[in-house]
């Protein structure tokens, strides 16, 4: 049982500041995710003009995520050094450059791959910066809600990508669709200057670098725990992203109609959104690190994936909802727990989470697709369940390490002003 934070009655000022911080975080994350999601949504039109295969498209998208995974630990530490505002602005500038480069200058697969790689670097800097922003702009008793809403904003990017096809790509051309990035960019430009980032967090603490061999970081999160979190997040996201990307195809292959498969994807997405926000609210009431909760969610997600492997009908519906809710709805808790574990260096801690999630996003669809093509979709679901179960074990081990080290047991009470 963890100690619960003291809760002061929210004032109009703190409520306004929290709202600004959450809104800015959503705009920033949507902007960072748009290049990849727009390319996915406009794949038919882009491939027809630039002339490359579906496999080449998958390689470019996976490459973007893997580059982001490699750069995220560095991006997180850089965000701590330059501050949240500068990190978000720099990352957003890279996202805008990627959007403009794809929409205005891409003439070949190589051009597209370079711009997507740039978007991976943007995510590696923007997401840790947003974690710092949320941690400082939002009262500590609302961090769970804030991180939950932030992570729930990802479906907004997919919605924008989906609407861009009939609304822009089929009328004005696919290149104009990348101008949709102006919407979150405008929101971020209006919100970011109004956010107070001087709120207290905690004493300066240096998280152990993932590559360190010496356990000399007694004042920060233990290195082994961070490695376990990164590996657990990667395996969990490999499982969830593979199911998510191939859900409609697997549902059709199992006997569902295309219309019902699309509806199933929508229902699963809503379940994931609700879960991210609801678990964040519950985490605010508890006040401690949530890696144990994440472990149970991943275990439940593994069971859901086993149900999904059973075929069409009620089993597939239950498996889909359970996968999107439990097996994919834990990302907000992940960032919350990492920030709580390292209040003095939240960007570096968040970079660990971004690295794991991005690696999973890059590898998940590839692995699921290979298994589905060579064996069956049911086998791919079962493989995802195995990975989710392994992820649950790693998160449970990480939880034990953090608790033993006393990291993230309570929200921070001491302060350190931001730049």
Could you give the CA distance from residue 167 to residue 146 in angstroms, rounded to a whole number? 31
**Alpha-carbon radius of gyration of the chain:** 20
DSSP string covering 283-334, please?
A: HHHH-S--HHHHHHHHHHHHHHHHHHTT-SSHHHHHHHHHHHHTTTTTHHHH
Is the Cα torsion angle 134, 139, 144, 150 positive or negative in sign? negative
Please name the fold of domain 13-199.
Growth Hormone; Chain: A; (1.20.1250)
The CATH code of the domain at 202-209+219-419 is 1.20.1250.20
Decide if 13-199 and 202-209+219-419 have a common fold: yes
* 178-214 pLDDT tens trace: 988 899 999 999 999 999 887 656 544 444 455 443 3
Mean pLDDT of 67-95: 96
Whole-number pLDDT of residue 410: 52
| Sequence spans of domains, the chain | 13-199, 202-209+219-419
Could you give the CA distance from residue 226 to residue 76 in angstroms, rounded to a whole number? 14
Asked if residue 397 has pLDDT above 60, the reply is yes
Q: Which of 258-262, 320-324, 390-394 has the lowest mean pLDDT?
A: 258-262
Asked if residue 416 has pLDDT above 60, the reply is no
3-state secondary structure of 208: coil
Could you give the CA distance from residue 262 to residue 65 in angstroms, rounded to a whole number? 25
Q: Residue 374: pLDDT band by 50, 70, 90 thresholds?
A: very high
Mean pLDDT of 388-417: 75
* 124-136 pLDDT tens trace: 999 999 999 999 9
In this structure, the chain runs to a length of: 419
Indicate the average pLDDT of the chain: 86
Is the Cα torsion angle 388, 389, 390, 391 positive or negative in sign? positive
Whole-number pLDDT of residue 417: 40
């Amino acid at each position: 049982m963890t100690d619960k934070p003291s809760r002061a009655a929210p004032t109009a000022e703190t409520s306004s500041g929290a709202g600004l911080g959450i809104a800015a975080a959503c705009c920033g994350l949507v902007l960072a995710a748009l290049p990849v999601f727009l390319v996915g949504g406009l794949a038919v039109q882009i491939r027809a003009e630039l002339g490359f295969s579906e496999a080449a498209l998958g390689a470019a998208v996976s490459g973007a995520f893997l580059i982001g995974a490699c750069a995220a630990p560095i991006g997180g530490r850089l965000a701590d050094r330059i501050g949240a505002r500068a990190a978000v602005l720099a990352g957003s500038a890279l996202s805008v450059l990627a959007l403009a480069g794809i929409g205005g200058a891409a003439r070949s697969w190589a051009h597209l791959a370079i711009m997507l790689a740039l978007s991976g670097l943007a995510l590696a800097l923007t997401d840790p910066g947003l974690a710092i922003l949320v941690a400082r702009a939002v009262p500590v008793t609302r961090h769970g809600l804030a991180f939950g809403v932030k992570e729930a904003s990802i479906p907004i990017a997919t919605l924008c990508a989906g609407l861009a096809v009939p609304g822009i790509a089929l009328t004005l051309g696919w290149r104009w669709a990348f101008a949709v990035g102006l919407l979150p960019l405008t929101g971020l430009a209006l919100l970011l200057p109004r956010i107070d980032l001087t709120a207290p967090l905690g004493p300066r603490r240096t998280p152990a670098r993932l590559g360190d061999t010496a356990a000399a970081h007694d004042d920060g999160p233990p290195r082994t725990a961070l490695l376990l979190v990164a590996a657990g997040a990667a395996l969990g996201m490999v499982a969830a992203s593979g199911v998510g990307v191939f859900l409609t195809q697997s549902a059709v292959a199992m006997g569902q109609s295309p219309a019902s498969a699309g509806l199933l994807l929508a229902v699963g997405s809503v379940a994931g959104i609700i879960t991210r926000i609801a678990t964040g609210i519950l985490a605010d009431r508890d006040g401690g690190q949530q890696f144990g909760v994440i472990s149970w969610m991943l275990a439940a997600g593994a069971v859901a994936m086993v149900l999904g492997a059973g075929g069409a009908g009620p089993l597939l519906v239950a498996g889909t909802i359970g996968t999107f809710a439990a097996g994919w709805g834990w990302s907000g808790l992940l960032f919350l727990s990492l920030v709580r574990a390292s209040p003095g260096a939240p960007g570096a801690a968040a970079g660990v989470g971004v690295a794991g999630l991005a690696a999973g996003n890059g590898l998940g669809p590839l692995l699921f697709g290979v298994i589905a093509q060579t064996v069956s979709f049911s086998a791919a679901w079962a493989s995802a369940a195995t990975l989710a179960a392994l992820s649950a074990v790693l998160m449970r081990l990480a939880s034990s390490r953090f608790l033993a080290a006393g990291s993230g047991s309570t929200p921070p009470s001491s302060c350190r002003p931001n730049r």
